[in-house]
Structure 1
Amino acid sequence: MFFKNKKKTAQKTQPHSTNMDKCIEQLKTCLHDSSDFVIKTMKINNKRVLLAYLSEFIKDSSLNNHIIRHLNRVSQDELTYQCLRETLPVAKLSVTNQLPIISENIVRGHVYIFVDGDSAGILAEIGERATRAIDISLNESTIFGPKVSFTEEVSANLNLVRGRIDDPNLKVEKIIVGKRAKTSVYIVYISDIADIENVKTFKQRLEELDVDTIIDSSILSQQIEDNSLSIFPQFTVTELPDLLTTSLIHGKVGLLVDRSPTAIIGPATFLSFFESSEDIYVRWNMGTFLRFLRFTSIFLSVLLTPAYVAVLTFHYEVIPSALLNSLGESRANVPFPPVYEALIMEFVIEMLREAAARLPIKVGQSIGVVGGIVIGTAAVQAGFTSNILIIIIGLSAIGSFTAPSYIMGTTIRLIRFPIIVLAGLWGGVGIMFCFCFILIHLLRLTTLGRPYMSPVYPLRLRDWKYSLFRSPPQYYSMRPETNHPSDSQRIPLKKQKMKKDIDE
């Protein structure tokens, strides 16, 4: 074991040869002589100069303007890595002779410049990666507020955050994650507001992460969760810069991952997944109504179908007599028990939703509506299901779509299936058993070591205006206690309530 570790360390600190021909062979070996790996040699002032790069990252115009044109102007004495480091017109330059470092930076878009006989060379970052322009958010639509969303370019994402929080205390820390394909992860927080324990927890989990690579922030959020076996998401993943900046001001911590169009926000609570960034842009009473509408819709989405199964299987006495007759006529030709009927229709709705998501946009927009109407009507006419269940299934599906977070909406739809099964086995007792099990699980769950059900448990009444409802602006003088901010006061309460006319 000792010799293995020693050999591995020796490979990490392997310098290349000072002879150019041997250096070229070593670089080709490190890059496996890839077809897009370009090695360009030039003779300048009787000295051989090597340029090594990947063709898809480095444009000929950039190479000529930033590197070759300058090399042709230097004298023979200045043709060393010490002088080139001071005179090359490139912002990001570094000196090295280590083959692992050179190969890692070449695949990220650097050019390696080496003068024959020198002990080291220069890495110049002039590469250009394929990016897309900043556009509106497609997955988190809003009516009010900013419409821009993050892109896959992390520098552009940091620009969006810095543009909204022009505070010198906004701190960005970079951590490299991944052994094979290294990914840059940036921890973003306001140093005099965020709780340092949350920042340290993020750092520790990122540094201890032993993976080949991180493809997207959604994958990273699953790998650093407190409980990866839980069905409930423990970090907010968003593509809206304004949601991230609002969370930072409230004392939370954000993660931006290179090549990912979404940001991770933590610590997150269960109620935060039902908050929309749009709530703060409308009047407080409207925002409160929208939040209560979402909570009620989600609750009914989970309860309606299991209640239908439980009532028809065990609790006929709770059905009003006027409704009992129509319900009996509707189910007269249905060959399945209520539990099978509900599970089949729920599964059909999930198939329609998944099909609409996977089809092209123009086709997917119509498949959900047309498929639901056609299949629902045909199922009722064929005696496959009842009219009332179609209505209940439709209301449950609509209720789950009111969750602003797509991940939480999917979670709500998934937990409906075991509740339906228990409702078919034990009726109302089964529903209560499943609800109690979920509640106990939520109370035990943590995010970054913080309670997941805060501010309900532990009870923090002052934070309810940030989660359950909204208050008038003058009552937001303190930051949410749930986030444990270092600076808990936003605006002094006395100044917030002072509203004078110009003649006072």
Structure 2
Amino acid sequence: MDSYASLSRLGKEEIKDYFKEKLHHSPDLYFYELPVKESTLLFIYMKNLVDDSTLSQFILSPIIGNLACFNSEMSELRYKLLVTDTILTEDGEVAIKNILDGYVYIFSNHGETGILANVAKKVERGLEKAETESLVFGPKISFTESLSTNISIVRQNILLDDLCTRKLTVGKRNETEIRLVYIKGIADDESVAYIEDKITKLEVKEILDTSVLAQLIEDNSYSVFPQYLQTELPDRVTYSLERGMIAVFVDRSPMVLLGPATLFNFFESTEDVYMRWNMGSFIRSLRYLTMFLSILLTPAYVAIITYHYEMIPSTLIVSLGESRSKVPFSPILEAFLLEIMIELLREAGARLPTKVGQTMGIVGGIVLGQAAVEAGFTSNILIIVVALSALGSFTAPSYLMGTAIRITRFPILILGGLWGGVGIAIGLCFILIHLLRLSSAGKPYLRPVYPLDLKRVKNTVLRIPVEMMKTNPDKRGFFSFNGKYSKDIDE
């Protein structure tokens, strides 16, 4: 059957055939006929997408109760229904799209238009404790896969009339609803327009998850460093919105994008705010230190053992020589094998069920490490170095940033094995240049260090006391940036 632009030209049986053909004779497609005076009302819906009690109580009961005064005008029948979300339409494509979203389509064989009424049965889980971002202090709940629930949580946390939301849709084949959420007057209007333009220009069939959307709208999709912060914590979204960031919610995804983000945002946690300022500053500084050590520790070991052994203290060089005396591999190959083994243990622990994964990580690490040393496969000192490097990458609150650090370690390790300290310096220079050129939603990735902004540095690298936050002269949020940013580091 051909596609009809208007259903008003079709009879009852033709309408049934139209919906059957369009929905490929789905067994869930249901037709219900209600004789009314000289006409017949036809109810069309997907059985597994509607709430039967809502359909019966708020749709059928009011219609049956008003049969005596019924006429064929759908515009009048619309106001008899006890649901507020209704649409008058005669377009078959619009009807099918909404039926697949849980609407019931009501049509009269004497009418020229039909009514779409929302009786959807939304399947969603309740509010639960966050799994990927664990906190000691602060709220423990996480977002769910329901977009409306997530937006309501944010509105309960931010009771401001300046909290703005913009609705967007992406996907040619399977449309997905996306919401931009920001606080007007604090968020940078240029950043809001930039992110909205990026999303509206997407030409994709569908968006599977928030992480997929992040990859599509990033300024540099080839960079290993994430340019949008992903979180499942409502309090982190609230904290970020009040600092001028923009939140991007995707329907059917429990994760939220926050941008424009800086490198330092990925090492911050709302737990830093809940703690005393000196404790929060210490822990935040520890994260930066462990990130640096995680990248450099293993490459530095390989470079020193291979080229700069004169840097090793004389008291340590004897034990180090004894430890490596039975190892048949070169330092770079030995380090590579251990790094790969650590990554395999981490990946296996993440993919297995929780209890089995924890056991696998602990037992596997101890057994393999001890067996590798006894077999002369590796030295015990390198095991300590690789373990410290792995622990350093795990301290990042963001899983994506922790993964980026682990990946960055491998090219630095190769350069350290080939050219020693000079190779490590070259690798660090390349990383620094890349970070200087990188941007998030058009804003510098290393802000406020580059371009330097002393007013904001104090609450980025460290966690300043609360009384200093109250007197902070910055009223437009952290990411307001009036100057023109150029990606050329020479300017």
Q: TM-score under structure 2 normalisation?
A: 0.95
Residue of 50, 67, 80 corresponding to 1:58: 50
Structure-2 separation of matches of 1:37 and 1:429: 69
TM superposition shift of 1:247: 0.8
Q: Deviations over 1:195-253 (max 9, x none)?
A: 11111111111111111111111111111111111111000010000111111111111
Aligned equivalent of 1:132: 125
Asked if 2 retains the 8 angstrom alpha-carbon contact of 1:186 and 1:257, the reply is yes
User: Structure 2 vs 1, CA of residues 320 and 14 (structure 1 numbering), >3 Å: closer, same or farther?
Assistant: farther
User: Structure 2 vs 1, CA of residues 352 and 358 (structure 1 numbering), >3 Å: closer, same or farther?
Assistant: same
In the alignment, residue 26 of structure 2 is paired with which amino acid? Answer: S
Asked if 2 retains the 8 angstrom alpha-carbon contact of 1:19 and 1:117, the reply is no
TM superposition shift of 1:15: 4.7
Residue of 150, 153, 164 corresponding to 1:157: 150
Query: Structure 2, unaligned stretches of length 5 or more?
Result: 483-491
In the alignment, residue 212 of structure 1 is paired with which amino acid? Answer: K
SS in 2 for 1:228: coil
Deviation larger for 318-327 or 35-44 = 35-44
Aligned equivalent of 2:21: 29
Correspondence 1:215-226 to 2 at 5 A: 215-226=208-219
In the alignment, residue 431 of structure 2 is paired with which amino acid? Answer: I
Provide the aligned length of Structure 1 versus Structure 2.
477
Residue of 466, 470, 485 corresponding to 2:459: 466
Residue of 288, 295, 300 corresponding to 2:288: 295
Correspondence 1:184-333 to 2 at 5 A: 184-333=177-326
TM superposition shift of 1:482: 4.5
Q: TM-score under structure 1 normalisation?
A: 0.92
Structure-1 separation of matches of 2:195 and 2:444: 16
Structure-2 separation of matches of 1:76 and 1:246: 55
Asked if 2 retains the 8 angstrom alpha-carbon contact of 1:171 and 1:189, the reply is yes
Aligned equivalent of 1:3: none
Structure-2 separation of matches of 1:73 and 1:12: 33
TM superposition shift of 1:103: 1.0
Structure-2 separation of matches of 1:126 and 1:196: 37
Aligned equivalent of 1:495: none
Asked if 2 retains the 8 angstrom alpha-carbon contact of 1:134 and 1:149, the reply is yes
In the alignment, residue 17 of structure 1 is paired with which amino acid? Answer: R
TM superposition shift of 1:381: 0.3
In the alignment, residue 443 of structure 2 is paired with which amino acid? Answer: R
In the alignment, residue 239 of structure 2 is paired with which amino acid? Answer: T
Residue of 484, 488, 499 corresponding to 2:480: 484
Aligned equivalent of 1:6: none
TM superposition shift of 1:78: 3.7
Residue of 35, 43, 54 corresponding to 1:43: 35
Aligned equivalent of 1:172: 165
Aligned equivalent of 2:486: none
Structure-2 separation of matches of 1:78 and 1:166: 45
TM superposition shift of 1:45: 2.3
Q: Identity of counterpart residues, as a percentage?
A: 47
Residue of 62, 85, 88 corresponding to 2:78: 85
What RMSD in Å do the two structures reach over aligned CA positions? 1.6
Structure-2 separation of matches of 1:173 and 1:15: 32
Structure-1 separation of matches of 2:163 and 2:4: 34
